[in-house]
Chain A
């Protein structure tokens, strides 16, 4: 068994006087798709932000690619950032730049590619995430929500990272776009050998894409596959997987 890509130990987060995470432990293995679910306000996004270093936890250790993120020098942190991509909830595209320019931001920052190669790679990424070719010269404000997410994913994949964080990738998409997005993530994960850390609400997405699921419940975390979690006695997990929507999605 190889070492985990992400390893969280004893994570404690307190936000606005509220305890959000009470000593969480979590491992994400190379090449797996880890889904994170939980009710509103259970700190799914906070967990993601803690791992990528946008949020400083109260205590606990987080290591990514075997490096403890809290003790890294800024330059080592950059080396780490080179190896991961983040898709934010609304895509977080830079609104003053076209989609092509957005994708080229990390390329420009970390490599010395010729403009021609960057144009080619941007076009390739645009096609890979299933956007039409002319989307490249559009500005984010000219795209629909689903297209913005695809463009955000293209930017997250620009440097061919080993690890991708997705924050609610299918939220706000219609079911058809959402299931296309699931297929896209799964397909890219398989062809690029990605490790994916995905926060989501969508039980269809969970079923279609994830290998394991981490459920945030009662400030703690429970990890398993859909099959094992269905039998968990916790009332929230029961309701989540056994509720009408859950049952329909699981085909039970």
Chain B
């Protein structure tokens, strides 16, 4: 439906003829010289040969309708004739189109200036690589200084008796980022539990060690996967929302308005979001772990015939409070990263709509990237200290 276009045609098809009499050229035009006819006229005109004449004339007196596209084609032909060395003596157009031609003549000399094209030679490629490298470094530096600023602001918000924590905003953010994420996160964690239990049981059955499926499930979900899946979902749901919200505020000049009113952007916009996330992500991580266990238990019951009390007993032996704690302790760090990146990218939005989309994408990619990098760093750290 969308691509059906009406056939817009001229009432009187445009006509065009070139007469050559000795040294004199005469371009005779008639009909409707308007936009729908312009592509055809353009093609026909470009095939004409104006060379070898001393005098030329354009007779468009028989034109019935002329618009600026048609007028431009006439003017262009005139210029082409002059370039070919002819003197254009007569330029006849119906009376009522004189103002249009005058207007175009005034706008003359406007050679088309085209947009920037891609790089063409090696030097320009090198320049682009250099520019991109500097950009990445600046990005890292900017994020780092933002980290410092937000850390200070957050600590002050919590500890300083002078300042009040923006409590309603904080609660709102916890609801937005935490409570509303429960259905999707619950479903996904449950399914992940099912998948891990099924795959684990499949492999371990070969050794007759099906019961250890529960150990595998408990350790992997509670220690790693629960936290990761929660962080990734929150980065996709809330980190992107932070960037889009703050970015749109930037486009609407709301951020500028706040600044002129003496409001502290970090305190008003960033602290509630980051702190809200720091509160809600550990809770979500715990919830994801529980849902993953339920999914695993269901799978174990149907696939391996392990009853729920058996499952619980095995799980109790497989994990310690340490396992759960290791999973949970990473959550505030992930939350801080996601909130920080989301707000930072939002504040970098420029005042156009495309920028909001671009930086929202970047915010999600960056925060998931950093979450996984930090998760790996945590793994190394824990193995070094022997947990």
* A contact residues vs B (CB 8 Å cutoff): 74-76, 78-79, 82, 95-96, 98, 100-101, 107, 109-114, 116-117, 119-128, 133-134, 136-137, 139-141, 157, 159-160, 187-188, 190-193
Within 8 A of A (CB), among B61-78: 67-69, 72, 76
B30 within 8 Å of A by Cβ? no
* B contact residues vs A (CB 8 Å cutoff): 1, 4-6, 8, 34-36, 38-39, 42-43, 67-69, 72, 76, 96, 99-100, 102-104, 107-108, 110-116, 350-354
| In contact, B8 and A82 (Cβ under 8 angstroms) | yes
Distance from A130 Cβ to chain B, minimum over Cβ atoms (Å): 8
| In contact, A191 and B6 (Cβ under 8 angstroms) | no
- A98-B115 contact, Cβ under 8 Å, with A127-B110, A140-B352, A192-B68: yes
28 A–B pairs (Cβ distance < 8 Å), ordered by A: A74-B4, A75-B6, A76-B6, A78-B6, A100-B113, A110-B8, A114-B39, A114-B43, A117-B38, A117-B39, A117-B42, A120-B72, A120-B112, A121-B68, A121-B69, A124-B72, A124-B104, A128-B103, A128-B104, A128-B107, A136-B112, A136-B114, A136-B115, A137-B114, A141-B351, A160-B34, A160-B68, A191-B103
| In contact, A127 and B114 (Cβ under 8 angstroms) | no
| In contact, B113 and A123 (Cβ under 8 angstroms) | yes
Distance from A58 Cβ to chain B, minimum over Cβ atoms (Å): 26
CB closest chain-B residue, reference A158: B35
| In contact, A159 and B35 (Cβ under 8 angstroms) | yes
- Using Cβ atoms and an 8 Å threshold, which residues of chain B touch A76? 6
Distance from A151 Cβ to chain B, minimum over Cβ atoms (Å): 14
Distance from B267 Cβ to chain A, minimum over Cβ atoms (Å): 29
The 10 closest A-B pairs by CB, nearest first: A127-B107, A79-B6, A160-B67, A127-B110, A191-B99, A119-B112, A123-B112, A95-B352, A191-B103, A96-B354
| In contact, A74 and B1 (Cβ under 8 angstroms) | yes
| In contact, B4 and A123 (Cβ under 8 angstroms) | no
18 new A-B contacts at CB < 8 Å, known A114-B39, A120-B72, A125-B68: A75-B4, A95-B354, A98-B115, A100-B115, A110-B5, A111-B36, A113-B39, A122-B112, A126-B110, A128-B103, A133-B110, A136-B112, A136-B115, A137-B115, A140-B352, A192-B67, A192-B68, A193-B96
| In contact, A137 and B100 (Cβ under 8 angstroms) | no
Distance from B350 Cβ to chain A, minimum over Cβ atoms (Å): 6
- Using Cβ atoms and an 8 Å threshold, which residues of chain A touch B72? 120-121, 124
- Using Cβ atoms and an 8 Å threshold, which residues of chain A touch B69? 121, 160
CB closest chain-B residue, reference A188: B103
| In contact, A133 and B104 (Cβ under 8 angstroms) | no
Distance from B98 Cβ to chain A, minimum over Cβ atoms (Å): 9
* Bound form: Cα–Cα A136–B123 in Å: 26
